[in-house]
Chains A and B, each alone.
Chain A
Amino acid sequence: MTARRRIGYWMGFSVVLALLIAAPLVLPAFWRSFLTEILIWGLLAMSSDLLIGYTGMVSFGHSAFFGLGIYGAAAALLWTSPPNLWMAFLFGLVAAAAVAAFVAYFSTRLRDIYFAITTLIFSQIFYVIIFTWTELTGGENGLTFRRPALAVPGLFSVPFTSETLHWFVLAVVTLSYLVLRRITRSPFGMVLQSIRENEARTRAIGYPVERYKIVAVMLSGLFAGLAGVLYAIQNRFAAPDFVFFLVSGEVVIFNVMGGIGTLVGPIVGAAFFLLLREGFSRFFTEYYLIPVGLIFIAMVIFMPQGLLGFMRRSLNR
């Protein structure tokens, strides 16, 4: 990256970050929490971009990692009294990482569509387990719990307001973005992109491709679990629907709409999709998916590189 582009990038980054920091001060309550939710879905989409965009593996299993993040956080928040924020992170991340390790170990032996189908099946297995194990998970009704306070043990403890929750989520998502961005540019990340470009050649020059894929799925699952923990904290309930494969499908749609292999794109895609759905559901009630679907099809045909790729090209023109 040239110096000018780097300055341009960090200026853009700062402006967007400043807008997101200022947003809760001007937005009404509904849109405030809507924006927070967009950030959380954006983090989930970004985590899956590490696989789709950088490694060339389309995962339909991200609902499992996300859902286990939610249920892990739920377990911690129900068992600790008063509910402890950091235990929620610990439980959620451990649960998501464990599931990701399991899924990664088996699914990375397969490629392309077989990988996608395997991740989908695994996430459905977890859905069925959560749906039927009523004593532990509340089954169909899910779990409700209280929101933890924003606390550092021994220092301070304040309850979350919708503003502080937004800033907290923003901080976690921004930090995750910077870490993921660094990972994609690390030697490890370059190997992932080499696998995407030419898997056989990457193996031939000496990389144990399967091991790299396993670590990629685990990292991706970890960040998806992080999104799940944030979602649990914001919405104070866990439901089997979040583990259902439709969520995974939406995550893939966020990626395609926003532009894969960009990290920022999936967040843009999540924002665009959620706004579309919100808008259309007000006018078209239960038929809202028809216009959303038509727009998605049009986007795939006319801007296959997603919103971000499209914006980039029109800026360069």
Chain B
Amino acid sequence: MAARLSIEVPFPADAGREDAALLRTQDLTVRFGGLAALNNVNFEVRRGEIRAIIGPNGAGKSTFFNCLTGVLRPLSGRILFQDEDITGLPSNRISQKGIARSYQITNILPSATTFENVRIAAQSRRHGWSLLTHHRAYRDIIEKAEAVLEAVGLQGKADEIAANLSHGEQRNLEIAIALATEPQLLCLDEPTAGMSAAETHETMALVRRIAKDLTILIVEHDMQVVMELAHRITVFHYGAILAEGTPAEIQRNPRVLEVYLKT
């Protein structure tokens, strides 16, 4: 692996620092019974990167996300976010640190409107404990939610009940909810799952747009999406990292080819 990063994102605070990782894991291990879902994973992602995580089913991709976002507590190992140990923190604390996540299986407030889904997420950063003021009185939250809806192209569906949105729209609402929490690291778990070709194309454009301001980890099965979007790719296999590199390197990697041809 030649270059550590395929694009150089200017980031003044990190200029000249060798160790500019936004997120690092050290020997992260998770076991379900006797099965090692993650086995000594040492992972690192830099600020500004779009990193794809691929691997066959059961390789540990979603388990990895669950650890990063506080849903699962690892058996051993550490997770460092901006050089701060966040291992084992509950998911609300991790969200407040700046890691957001969209889910593989759509996970929204089904009977609330699209707008409220995003508004409540934006409100998680401020005014959450206000008791006697109407929630509509907080213009800053309303404006934030409107801006996010516009960014994902759902502004026309703001007053729709979320359960009535199309599958593709619900997937984008997932991303909108995550974005509204103003994260620095966004973990997308198969954002294009079940989408039509046209919808996939739009979502890819969306991910590319939002990647200007934040770091993205993306789990994805669609190889075309992965190859076009990612700066670098990490391949998981049986709970361990099999390979890591630029899309071109991964496509040529014989071990990766072997795993993918077998499955």
Contacts and interface: CB of A to CB of B under 8 A. Distances in A.
Interface in A185-231: 185-191, 193-194, 197-198, 200-209
B92 A204 contact: yes
Contact of A188 (B90, B93, B95, B130): B130
Interface string B86-113: 0000111101100011000001111110
B109 A208 contact: no
B92 A209 contact: yes
Interface size class of A (residues with CB under 8 A): 20 to 34
A297 interface: no
Contact of B132 (A179, A191, A201, A208): A179
B92 A182 contact: no
A143 interface: no
B23 to A, nearest CB: 17
A87 interface: no
Contact of A187 (B96, B129, B178): B129
Nearest to A186: B131
A183 B133 CA distance: 8
B20 to A, nearest CB: 25
B127 interface: yes
B131 A183 contact: yes
Nearest to A194: B120
Given A203-B92, A206-B96, A189 B109 contact: no
Contact of B131 (A188, A194, A204, A206): A188
B109 A204 contact: no
B69 A186 contact: no
Nearest to A185: B134
Given A190-B120, A203-B92, A198 B128 contact: no
B109 A198 contact: yes
Nearest to B98: A206
Interface centre among A190, A202, A204 (most CB of B within 10 A): A204
B132 A182 contact: yes
Nearest to B126: A187
B112 A187 contact: no
B125 interface: yes
A205 B120 contact: yes
A230 B100 CA distance: 47
A187 B123 contact: yes
A188 B131 CA distance: 5
B174 to A, nearest CB: 10
A204 B108 CA distance: 11
Given A198-B109, A206-B124, A207-B124, A186 B92 contact: no
A204 B111 CA distance: 18
Given A197-B112, A205-B177, A183 B132 contact: yes
Contact of B109 (A187, A194, A203): A194
B95 A206 contact: yes
Contacts of B123: 187, 190-191
Contacts of B79: none
B101 A204 contact: yes
A222 to B, nearest CB: 12
Contact of B129 (A188, A202, A206): A188
A179 B119 CA distance: 23
Interface in B170-199: 177-178, 180-181
Contact of A204 (B69, B125, B130, B134): B69
A204 B71 CA distance: 9
Contacts of B91: 200, 203-204
Contact of B108 (A183, A189, A198, A203): A198
A277 B109 CA distance: 39
Contacts of B95: 203-206
B107 A187 contact: no
A96 to B, nearest CB: 18
A185 B71 CA distance: 29
Interface in A266-297: none
B132 A197 contact: no
B116 interface: yes
A191 B120 contact: yes
B134 A191 contact: no
A186 B133 contact: yes
A132 B124 CA distance: 46
A206 B135 CA distance: 18
Given A189-B135, A200-B107, A206-B121, 6 more contacts: A179-B132, A183-B131, A193-B112, A198-B109, A204-B95, A208-B92
6 contacts: A187-B129, A188-B130, A190-B119, A201-B109, A205-B178, A206-B96
Interface of B: 69, 71, 90-93, 95-96, 100-101, 107-112, 116, 119-121, 123-125, 127-135, 138, 141, 177-178, 180-181
CB-CB nearest 4 A-B residue pairs: A206-B95, A206-B124, A197-B109, A205-B121
